[in-house]
């Protein structure tokens, strides 16, 4: 099986701001969407990923992009190694 990209849907559980300043960064917590219903997107696509992501975000505009309760697609694509 030659898979070039794996796409799954994540649910934004929480956005934490580091300080009271609107210009501060924060942490975004996401969980893979897993429904027992066979027609659910992740199951229908054959994606069986489960788990959580915690992202430290230093840019406030990026942090504000994430809204608790919203769902987001995450694509995993192979990348070349970083040159050392």
Confidence of residue 57 (pLDDT cuts 50, 70, 90): very high
Q: Does the global pTM surpass 0.85?
A: no
How do residues 36-48 score in pLDDT, each as one tens digit?
555 556 554 566 6
Chain CA centroid to CA 65, Å: 12
Among 5, 8, 3, residue whose Cα is nearest residue 48: 8
Please check whether residue 15 is in contact with residue 68, taking contact to mean a CB–CB distance below 8 angstroms. Answer: yes
Token match 């897993």: residue?
34
Please check whether residue 42 is in contact with residue 33, taking contact to mean a CB–CB distance below 8 angstroms. Answer: yes
How do residues 6-24 score in pLDDT, each as one tens digit?
888 898 999 998 777 767 7
Confidence of residue 27 (pLDDT cuts 50, 70, 90): very high
**Which position has the higher pLDDT, 58 or 23?**
58
Q: How far, in Å, CA of 75 to CA of 69, rounded? A: 19
Q: How far, in Å, CA of 9 to CA of 61, rounded? A: 22
């Amino acid at each position: 099986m030659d898979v070039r990209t794996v796409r799954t849907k994540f649910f934004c559980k929480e956005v934490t701001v580091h300080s009271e300043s609107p210009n501060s960064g924060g942490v975004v917590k996401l969980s893979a969407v897993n429904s027992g219903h066979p027609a659910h997107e992740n199951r229908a696509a054959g994606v069986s990923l489960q788990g959580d992501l915690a992202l430290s975000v230093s840019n406030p505009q990026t942090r504000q992009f994430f809204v608790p309760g919203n769902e987001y697609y995450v694509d995993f694509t192979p990348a070349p190694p970083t040159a050392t």
